[in-house]
Amino acid sequence: MQNLLWRITHISERDLVQKSSFGSFPRSLFSTSPVSSGRFFSVGGNLSTFGAGRKESVWCDFLKRAAVGFSRGSRFATGFTPLQPKPLSSIIDVDRAKTRSPEDLISVWDDYHLGRGHISAAIKAPLYHLLEQRSLSCRYFVIPVWRETGYTNMFIQVQMPHMLFTGLEDYKARGTQACPYFTVTHYTEFAESKGVVLVHGDIVFASKLSDSEASWLLETAQTFYLNDVRYKLVERFNKETREFEFNDVLRALEMPVF
């Protein structure tokens, strides 16, 4: 953890901001819990299509009321408090869902997540297990989000079934008190029976992250953990932090390097 914090602290401002010019189920299948536009994407043809050193403390109070589908829980990762997801049964009628095909289940999962601030997804069970295995020793990473004025970097924490995304600058400034911009939970109830894991994402701060950016972040984060070449960068960030070069991430994403 100490080396990781060294790496985060020493990502230069030049790294941080680069300038450039450049068929649904019946509605009764679901419970009345308010879960609301999902996007589909695939990674290398393998994913199913689908939409610090400060002392530990509680994340900002906003999370107590803003993260739909979550309740407070025990420690998430070193220096952080996790968000504990509500059971899948609080979102859908699990018994009815058991009678549906994987394709129907994925389709309606996406259809039901309609409305700004929520991302739906599905991943094949073997890939979920690979992501889970790799994240055990590599819980952190940084991914740049390209905007018109340059890059905004997101700090990622992975402790399956959770993935949390927050602004790197906020993390550097606030440490354990930094609030996540985007939270993701994986539901494994159908991993064995249907071979799919349902994914639900909440955008906590719409002012910080758009739907399309959140969807892209989820997709991109998964590629870094599931693609063997990209995963080497994740390993370097976590295990050989002084050897990590942020420009390698930019090149992997085909973003401009200055």
The most confident of the ranges 63-67, 88-92, 173-177, 246-250 is: 246-250
Between 71 and 91, the higher pLDDT residue: 91
Would you say residue 235 has pLDDT above 90?
yes
3-state secondary structure of 88: helix
In the prediction, which pLDDT does 10 show?
55
Between 93 and 51, the higher pLDDT residue: 93
The most confident of the ranges 49-53, 63-67, 134-138, 202-206 is: 134-138
Confidence at 46, pLDDT banded by 50, 70, 90:
very low
Nearest partner of 76 among 160, 177, 181, 175, judged by Cα: 160
Mean pLDDT of the region 173-180: 85
Please, which residues have CB within 8 angstroms of residue 26's CB and are 6 or more apart in sequence?
none
Q: For 48, phi and psi rounded to 5 degrees? A: -65, 145
d(CA 36, CA 62): 19
Would you say residue 111 has pLDDT above 50?
yes
Mean pLDDT of the region 109-137: 89
d(CA 152, CA 165): 12
Confidence at 91, pLDDT banded by 50, 70, 90:
confident
In the prediction, which pLDDT does 60 show?
33
Report the DSSP beta bridge partners of residue 110: none
d(CA 41, CA 67): 23
Q: What percent of the chain has pLDDT over 90?
A: 49
Would you say residue 166 has pLDDT above 50?
yes
